[in-house]
């Protein structure tokens, strides 16, 4: 069923078994696991069924340090969450690229500043397989050989560091339409929209959440009592809500050791390398790296680091996407029109040109090598509360983000590997354009309520329960101890399924 919070009486009280804050993929998948059960679930969503600019304004924030996009532009308040603004095209509709974290992403790696995950990739295998189906994807297999056919095969790489793997593409509508419709029609699930959670209230010892205070932009408010609470509001808002919940703990709920908001991570993207193919036929041969359908599944090849090379050389993770560069972009640069058309490095930023690159390969003289980077967690990159306040009177979010010297050194090492191995494989010449800083705005926010078995080193335990609070859980990318290079949604869905199973065993 659905509830419009603006229509509820002021100071109304909702009593429920499970309260889920957020209706993005994490919240939707978690709640969906309780369809038809004897457990009543109340979902609280800040936005509405349609986009509302006034509510979106609540995402306004402050950035400190190196340039980083304002969360008003990168997060979305609406039923379905940020999926509503996904901009990757899957066939003829909006969607996203999917890929799991690698095995090495879960490991504690020598030379890294932080520990890995409290479990290995094998532990998530069954949840990843279930997530594949929910996301509308194919078989849980991301190795290139499974997706090779007569018209699409990987490039002949001869080095020790690079190999070819794939992305799969899935539609956004499963989260914005299909599953939302199921939840709105369920008897035991209430989707309450226009409901802004402003704080969680606990008992005097801070060991149990007793309720959530909720406000509407119109000025009214209500209260939700539940046996169990789950924050599923994203990599920024999960941390902000804990920091705002300072009724008995001035530093914020679950923040005894100062980890809430810390280790904010993105997936910076580097555009500084360009492959000049040895001949124009290479683009036709490289069609594996364009989006294409294999057995009804849309996939796309990518260059990946071999995990044994990462372990041996203590490298962070990365992935390289090949983007054909039309001659028009070269003319723009040669005529000095960058200031009107955007710098050469910013053309293109999509896969659209692959549709004609293979057929008209003489038009395409370059291939931009887009490196998607793993950013290692750092305590200094964090989410905090600003002195500025939003329309509800709450402190806005303040994002502290810096591209560190360590990050730059790692990027330089990865660039060198890409240049060396592509040229060694006789694929062409790789040019490096100096002075380009990575773009930090993949909108893959992670790490701000990191998972660790030790409360002195993280916010949630291995079961996503907030340390020291018996009935409060967090799910989503904010719990990632490390984020690899991967688009996070597949792992977010897998973790939501895992948490749902955990909650069921605990008989909410």
Rounded Cα gap, residues 91 and 255, in angstroms:
44
pLDDT at 347 over 80: no
- pLDDT, tens digit, 9 for 90 and up, residues 304-340: 999 999 999 999 999 999 998 875 444 334 334 343 3
DSSP element (H, E) containing 196: strand 196-202
Give me the DSSP letters along 148-185.
-BTTB------SSSEEEEEEEEEETHIIIIIHHHHHHH
Q: How many CB atoms are closer than 10 A to CB 393?
A: 8
User: Could you tell me what percent of the chain has a pLDDT over 90?
Assistant: 83
Query: Is the separation of the CB atoms in 104 and 307 below 8 Å?
Result: yes
- Please give the C-alpha separations between residue 334 and each of 330, 331, 337, in angstroms, as whole numbers: 6, 5, 8
- Please give the C-alpha separations between residue 49 and each of 84, 187, 190, 395, in angstroms, as whole numbers: 11, 19, 14, 25
First-to-final CA distance of the chain:
20
Query: Is the separation of the CB atoms in 324 and 370 below 8 Å?
Result: no
pLDDT value for 327: 55
pLDDT at 10 over 90: yes
The number of CA neighbours under 13 Å toward the Cβ of 481 is 26
Give me the DSSP letters along 282-312.
HHHHTGGGS-EEETTEEEEEEEEE-HHHHHH
pLDDT value for 182: 97
Rounded Cα gap, residues 458 and 114, in angstroms:
11
Query: Is the separation of the CB atoms in 424 and 159 below 8 Å?
Result: yes
What is the rounded average pLDDT of the residues 340-358?
46
The number of residues making up the chain comes to 508
**DSSP E strand boundaries for 279-427:** 292-294, 297-305, 318-326, 364-373, 382-389, 395-401
pLDDT value for 110: 82
pTM for the full model? Answer: 0.94
Instruction: Please list, in sequence order, all residues whose beta carbon lies within 8 angstroms of the beta carbon of residue 500, skipping any fewer than 6 positions away.
Output: 29, 30, 33, 34
| Interstrand relation of 61-65 and 395-401 (parallel, antiparallel or unpaired) | parallel
Domains of the chain, each with CATH number or no CATH: 1-86+172-263+377-403+444-508 (3.50.50.60), 142-168+269-374+404-437 (no CATH)
Question: In the beta sheet, which residues pair with residue 200?
Answer: 212
User: Could you tell me what percent of the chain has a pLDDT over 70?
Assistant: 92
Query: Is the separation of the CB atoms in 165 and 305 below 8 Å?
Result: no
What is the rounded average pLDDT of the residues 475-482?
98
- pLDDT, tens digit, 9 for 90 and up, residues 422-465: 999 999 999 999 988 899 989 999 999 999 999 999 999 999 99
Question: How does DSSP classify residue 267?
Answer: -
- Mean pLDDT, the chain, as a whole number? 92
pLDDT at 262 over 60: yes
Rounded Cα gap, residues 292 and 153, in angstroms:
11
Q: How far is CA 343 from the centre of its chain?
A: 27
Backbone phi, then psi, for 413, in 5-degree steps? -65, -40
Query: Is the separation of the CB atoms in 237 and 473 below 8 Å?
Result: no
pLDDT at 30 over 90: yes
pLDDT at 100 over 90: yes
pLDDT value for 363: 54
């Amino acid at each position: 069923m659905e509830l419009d919070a603006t229509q509820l009486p002021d100071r109304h009280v909702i009593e429920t078994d499970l309260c889920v804050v957020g209706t993005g993929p994490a919240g939707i998948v978690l709640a969906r696991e309780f369809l038809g059960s004897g457990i009543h679930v109340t979902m609280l969503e800040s936005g509405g069924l349609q986009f509302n600019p006034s509510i979106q304004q609540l995402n306004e924030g402050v950035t400190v340090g190196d340039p980083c996009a304002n969360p008003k532009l990168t997060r979305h308040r609406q039923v379905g969450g940020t999926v509503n603004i996904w901009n990757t095209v899957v066939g003829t509709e909006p969607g996203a690229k999917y890929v799991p974290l690698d095995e090495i992403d879960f490991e504690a790696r020598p030379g890294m500043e932080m520990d890995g995950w409290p479990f290995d990739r094998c532990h998530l295998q069954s949840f990843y397989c279930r997530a594949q189906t929910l996301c509308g994807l194919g078989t849980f297999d991301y190795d290139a050989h499974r997706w090779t056919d007569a018209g699409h095969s990987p490039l002949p790489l001869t080095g020790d560091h690079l190999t070819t793997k794939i992305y799969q593409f899935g539609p956004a509508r499963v989260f914005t339409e299909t599953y939302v419709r199921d939840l709105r029609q369920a008897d035991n699930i209430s989707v309450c929209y226009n409901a802004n959670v402003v704080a969680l209230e606990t008992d005097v010892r801070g060991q149990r959440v007793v309720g959530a205070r909720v406000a509407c932009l119109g000025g009214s408010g209500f209260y939700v009592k539940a046996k169990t609470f789950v924050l599923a509001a994203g990599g920024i808002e999960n941390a902000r809500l804990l920091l705002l919940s300072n009724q008995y703990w001035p530093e914020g709920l679950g923040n005894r050791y100062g980890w809430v908001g810390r280790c904010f991570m993105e997936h910076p993207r580097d555009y500084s390398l360009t492959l000049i193919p040895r001949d124009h036929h290479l683009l036709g041969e490289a069609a594996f790296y364009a989006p294409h359908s294999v057995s009804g599944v849309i996939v796309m090849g990518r260059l990946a680091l071999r995990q044994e090379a990462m372990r041996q050389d203590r490298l962070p993770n990365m992935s390289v996407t090949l983007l054909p560069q039309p001659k028009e972009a070269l003319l723009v640069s040669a005529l000095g029109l960058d200031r009107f058309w955007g710098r050469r490095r910013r053309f293109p930023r999509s896969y659209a040109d692959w549709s004609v690159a293979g057929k008209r390969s003489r038009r395409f003289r370059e291939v931009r090598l887009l490196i998607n980077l793993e950013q290692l967690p750092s305590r200094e990159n964090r989410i905090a509360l600003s002195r500025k306040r939003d329309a509800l009177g709450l402190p806005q979010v303040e994002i502290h983000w810096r591209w560190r010297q360590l990050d730059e050194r790692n990027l330089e090492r990865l660039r060198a590997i890409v240049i060396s191995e592509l040229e060694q494989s006789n694929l062409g010449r790789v040019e490096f354009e100096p002075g380009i800083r990575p773009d930090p705005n993949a909108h893959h926010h992670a790490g701000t309520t990191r998972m660790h078995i030790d409360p002195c080193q993280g916010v949630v335990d291995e079961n996503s329960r907030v340390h020291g609070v018996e009935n409060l859980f967090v799910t989503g990318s904010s719990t990632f101890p490390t984020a690899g290079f991967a688009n996070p949604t597949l792992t977010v869905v897998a973790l939501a399924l895992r948490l749902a199973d955990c909650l069921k065993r605990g008989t909410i």
